[in-house]
Chain A
Amino acid sequence: MHSDQPSAADDPTEVGDEVDAAALARVMRVVPLGAGVLAGGAVALLVLGYLLIYWFVFIPRGTVG
């Protein structure tokens, strides 16, 4: 960045809010659970799709080797 351009810190609206430690701790208790549910749900859907194709398309197509 050029030195003649203003820094984001010069703009009062760009300066970060003060962090309420208690609120942050409360949120951080829930966020990993949400991330786990989201990632788990995505993987579960993927595995379900794989199993459906494996059992209902691939296996009925018969023996090969």
Chain B
Amino acid sequence: MTELHPEMHERRILGTELLWAFGVGVLIAATLGMILFTALTMSINPPSNVERIDPKTLHLSGEFAEHNLGTTVGADGSVTARIIATQFMFVPRCIAVPRGRRVTLRLATPDVLHGILVTGTNVNTMVVPGYVAQVHTEFARGGELLMPCHEYCGLGHSEMWATVQVMADNEFRPGADGRVSCAQR
């Protein structure tokens, strides 16, 4: 067997590396294409909302005042749930949402950094003091879903969780003021 000239060795190595780089490029392009495709056709993308709010006064008046928390159905039929994440609880503790309808979750915190996720769904966001976290989603399955705080926020962090009650259309009935509360089960 003849020995390859060193220059041929170099060429072979370069060829292999270029082939590998091409393959990795194709993989990256395919992955980004898939993410873009699902974002455009299925509305699956990271929640992004930059909206400031004063954490010192958010509970006193305006959108996150106590009487305004929980789920509200607007005149146009849009469903919005407003929640305060505070050490170490969510207010309200139970959030009623309809099944199969677009829901907007809006969260704010008066104290430290929190985070939420809803089990079995892609709902997942940080709740940063000074900002309103907003997530649009649609709950496909009924039942009670756990919504824990997933960002360590202090000694009581492990006790900080809420329930998302996903209701069928015949259960999800707003009152005269457009508000919906969790059903007692």
* Given A32-B16, A36-B16, A63-B43: A25 and B137 interface contact (C-beta under 8 Å): no
* Given A54-B34, A64-B44: A22 and B1 interface contact (C-beta under 8 Å): yes
* Given A62-B122, A63-B42: A22 and B3 interface contact (C-beta under 8 Å): yes
Asked if B60 is an interface residue, CB under 8 A from chain A, the answer is: no
Smallest Cβ distance from B86 to chain A, in angstroms? Answer: 24
Main secondary structure, interface of A, reads helix
Residues of A within 8 Å of B, CB-based: how many?
20
Asked if B161 is an interface residue, CB under 8 A from chain A, the answer is: no
In whole angstroms, how far apart are the Cα atoms of A28 and B138 in the complex? 57
Residues of chain A within 8 A of B136, CB atoms compared: 63-65
Asked if A39 is an interface residue, CB under 8 A from chain B, the answer is: yes
In whole angstroms, how far apart are the Cα atoms of A59 and B37 in the complex? 12
- Asked whether A62 lies within 8 Å of B137 as measured between CB atoms, the reply is yes
Asked if B22 is an interface residue, CB under 8 A from chain A, the answer is: no
Q: Say which residue of B20, B27, B39 sits within 8 Å of A47 (CB atoms).
A: B27
- Asked whether A65 lies within 8 Å of B34 as measured between CB atoms, the reply is no
Q: Say which residue of B4, B34, B121 sits within 8 Å of A64 (CB atoms).
A: B121
- Asked whether B138 lies within 8 Å of A63 as measured between CB atoms, the reply is yes
B1-32 contacts to A (CB < 8 Å): 1-4, 9, 12-13, 16, 20, 23-24, 27, 31
